[in-house]
């Protein structure tokens, strides 16, 4: 069992690393254990380039996905991504989903957009934070509820009433809610035909095949990041160990330069002279803002490693340094040596491009 974590503010190369580990594992199962459908993990495999949000990053290779109770799911986004997968992949697709996954509604996207205009905290804009916020106030909607039409219809009505009464949805009425939900209803029916709904014990006899794919990065962790510009999720290995305490190793991933998408604390910010980055997944957008870059901050990486050691302790640790081809003069061995005072990595990998063939082990 392996865990893949980002050491920065996200965008480190976790999708590539997960895809690589799938290629080294027999019948792998990729477990998404934090965040949700707001992730954007780019994988290039067999001529296809895909940005994974609602599926694990081994899907192009035929790896099964397990969507854990720690992850939100948005049926509309799920179906949009499903249709974007190659037909050959869809034919053999296998995805299982914990019955306790929180479900995002179109209304959550509206709330997300309204609150971002007010707060300017930085957000992907797909309703993840709004979903978590209402769930914390007990306005829950779970995947298991979608199996019972009367149940989830009643819950949606209660959620809508709550959002309207608390002014989270301004100038809205139930007619608006009904219109917004039309596409969602269809997406729910389609998604339920594709996924297998299970409980967490589903994984218990499959430990040797599990690859836990983290989302975002440790510096965005809700407990350790720089509030208020954090994600509403634990981005360390904490929840992976809650699900399965017998992990064998962690792969910590960082680019060879620093990035941050959107507002918030960041050191060494500058416009780097990057190469081979024409297909960068993360562009400036309306809600999240600018994709920022800068020289790598070793102390921030050490801080991220220290945060995760609250959970990982003596487990074997590896380092993956990506985007080596994008920054002239990048020195992965020097980076490894700088981090050695915090972690003496068992293995070190570098990536000189977006494909599996671009990854090589240097230690």
From the list 41, 50, 108, 110, the catalytic residue is 41
Q: What is the rounded (10 degree) CA torsion for 308, 97, 161, 108?
A: 60
Q: How far apart are CA 237 and CA 235, in angstroms?
A: 7
Q: Are strands 196-198 and 210-213 parallel, antiparallel or unpaired?
A: unpaired
Is 11 part of the annotated catalytic residue set? yes
Q: Cα–Cα distance between 317 and 340 in angstroms, integer?
A: 11
E-strand spans in the chain?
A: 2-6, 29-32, 41-45, 48-52, 64-67, 95-98, 196-198, 210-213, 249-255, 258-261, 291-294, 316-322, 347-351, 359-361
From CA 41, how far away is CA 216, in angstroms rounded?
A: 9
**DSSP code per residue over 43-59:** EEETTEEEEESSS-TTG
Helix (H, G, I), strand (E, B) or coil at 343: coil
Alpha carbon distance 286, 284 (integer Å): 7
Q: What is the total residue count of the chain?
A: 363
- Rounded to 5°, the CA angle 302-305-310 comes to 130
Residue 234 zone, left/alpha/beta (φ > 0; ψ -120 to 50; rest): beta
- The Cα–Cα gap between 137 and 125 comes to 21
Q: Is 113 a catalytic residue?
A: no
Residues serving a catalytic function are 11, 41
């Amino acid at each position: 069992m392996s865990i893949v974590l980002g050491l920065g503010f996200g965008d480190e190369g976790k999708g590539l690393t997960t895809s690589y580990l799938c290629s080294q594992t027999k019948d792998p199962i990729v477990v998404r254990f934090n965040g949700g459908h707001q992730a954007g993990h780019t994988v290039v495999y067999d001529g296809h380039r895909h940005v994974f949000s609602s599926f694990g990053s081994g899907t192009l290779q035929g790896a099964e996905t397990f969507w854990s109770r720690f992850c939100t799911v948005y049926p509309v986004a799920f179906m949009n991504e499903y249709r974007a997968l190659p037909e050959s992949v869809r034919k053999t697709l296998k995805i299982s989903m914990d019955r306790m996954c929180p479900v995002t509604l179109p209304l959550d996207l509206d709330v997300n957009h309204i609150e971002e205009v007010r707060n300017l905290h930085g957000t992907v804009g797909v309703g993840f934070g709004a979903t978590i916020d209402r769930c914390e106030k007990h306005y829950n909607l779970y995947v298991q509820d979608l199996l019972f039409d009367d149940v989830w219809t009643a819950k949606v009505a209660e959620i809508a009433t709550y959002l309207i009464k608390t002014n989270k949805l301004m100038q809205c009425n139930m007619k608006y809610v009904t219109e917004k939900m039309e596409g969602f209803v269809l997406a729910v029916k389609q998604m339920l035909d594709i996924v297998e709904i299970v409980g967490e014990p589903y994984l218990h006899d499959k430990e040797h095949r599990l690859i836990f794919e983290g989302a975002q990065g440790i510096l965005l962790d809700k407990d350790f990041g720089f509030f208020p510009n954090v994600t509403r999720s634990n981005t360390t290995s904490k929840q992976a160990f809650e699900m399965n305490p017998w992990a064998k190793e962690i792969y910590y991933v960082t680019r060879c330069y620093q990035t941050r998408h959107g507002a918030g604390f960041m050191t060494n910010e500058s416009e780097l002279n990057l190469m081979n980055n024409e297909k960068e997944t993360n562009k400036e957008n309306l809600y999240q803002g600018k994709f920022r870059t800068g020289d790598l901050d070793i102390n921030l990486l050490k801080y991220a490693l220290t945060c995760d050691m609250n959970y990982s302790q003596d487990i074997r640790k590896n380092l993956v340094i990506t985007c080596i081809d994008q920054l002239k003069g990048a020195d992965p061995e020097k980076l490894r040596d700088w981090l050695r005072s915090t972690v003496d990595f068992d293995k070190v990998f570098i990536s000189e491009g977006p494909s599996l063939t671009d990854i090589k082990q240097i230690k």
